[in-house]
Amino acid sequence: MWITALIFAIFVILDQLSKFFTMQMGSETVTIIPNVLEVHKSYNTGAAFGLGGEYTWIWAIVSAIATLVLFVVCYKNDWKHGKFGAIGVTMATAGAFGNFIDRLLTTTGLREGVVDMISWKWFDAFLGLFGGSSNIFNVADAFLIVGLIMLAIDYLFFYERRVRKYGLKDRRK
């Protein structure tokens, strides 16, 4: 359990540090790779892509529930038999918790919204096909998505083999 707590803490600290330094930026945009990757400060009071911005308190509740569910799954991490999935769920939990912190601070008036800073310019063109305008996300979002993808890969491709190999109880039944 200590390894989960350590990795969780590292991911949350990285997320909050990235948001702290982003909040110190002015309104300038820093181009990392021209026409591909930019960093600039943005506040999001809604969900993904700014949807439902007027319902910040609802997103805070949804974020809290998602974080609690992931904490339960994270608590049951099996580092001995499934490191890939354990890292994935720990990463996803840290991402959900990092955004929950922002939503909580937003509902109490201490922040303007979830701090976003990373923009893939090529994805803007893709979003434009569906009526979207801009994508911008933060480190917690990246942790959440990458962690959930790792968890899905672990479940789809490694779980059954691990159950057979180690004689573990199949939790899917």
Q: Of the residues 15, 78, 102, 116, which is catalytic?
A: 116
CA dihedral over 154, 158, 162, 163, signed as positive or negative: positive
Q: Is the pTM of this model over 0.75?
A: yes
Is residue 28 included in any domain, yes or no?
no
Cα(139)–Cα(63) distance, integer angstroms: 16
Residue 72 DSSP symbol: H
Domain, as residue range, for 79: 37-51+69-168
Is residue 143 included in any domain, yes or no?
yes
Q: Tokens 């009526």 correspond to what residue? A: 131
- pLDDT, one tens digit per residue, over 22-61 is 999 988 889 999 988 999 898 987 766 555 666 677 877 8
Q: Of the residues 124, 141, 154, 170, which is catalytic?
A: 141
141 is a catalytic site residue: yes
Is residue 9 included in any domain, yes or no?
no
Is residue 25 included in any domain, yes or no?
no
| Total number of domains constituting the chain | 1
Q: How confident is the model at residue 80 (pLDDT cuts 50, 70, 90)?
A: confident
Nearest to 141 by CA among 118, 120, 109, 112: 118
